[in-house]
Homo-oligomer: A and B are copies of this chain.
């Protein structure tokens, strides 16, 4: 995109910083992010990293955006290749569980952690996190509604979407907190029961 070699160089560094930032934030939160820590770990100068983003808050916002892109590429985009309705709904759930289970972010789902961190605080970071989280919730809900409209399921689509999203997040939370993988198995059993064929 940038034909300018200067900003191209900057974008390389920005990408480098952000990839590290999302990993750090998934474990220590967006508040646990510090310019000095990022700079030291990446062998850059603190002021250089600072200048690249303008402020701590802008770095946090860029981190949220970068994480959302990674999230979409693992969960949303591949699901769109699957047939609408029930098959796609199943794909979303499975892709989400794999995304969490494989620790695409070392601390588990980025938006689970950061959402809990900023849920009760005002500000631009809260709004960005809420927007990303809400966008995915809408995606599940509309897919569930589609499955109902196509006659694949006969349930309350809103409740179903809420339930599936809840099960995934609970599996993520329990697994990361306890260091075990059994929560994913339990969640899969529950999801399977919800998404059984009902002709």
Contacts and interface: CB of A to CB of B under 8 A. Distances in A.
Interface of A: 26-29, 31-32, 106-108, 112-113, 115-117, 119-121, 126, 129-130, 133-134, 137, 156, 158-159, 162-163, 165-167, 169-171, 173-174, 176-178, 183, 186-187, 189-190, 193
A117 B116 contact: yes
Would you call the interface of chain A mostly helix, strand, loop, or mixed? Answer: helix
Minimum-distance CB pairs A-B, first 6? A166-B170, A116-B116, A107-B120, A119-B176, A166-B166, A119-B177
A64 to B, nearest CB: 13
A28 to B, nearest CB: 7
Contacts of A169: 166, 169-170, 173
Given A126-B177, A163-B163, A166-B169, 5 more contacts: A31-B32, A113-B119, A130-B177, A158-B186, A162-B190
A30 B158 CA distance: 34
Contacts of A26: 120
A62 to B, nearest CB: 20
A130 B134 CA distance: 28
A27 B121 CA distance: 7
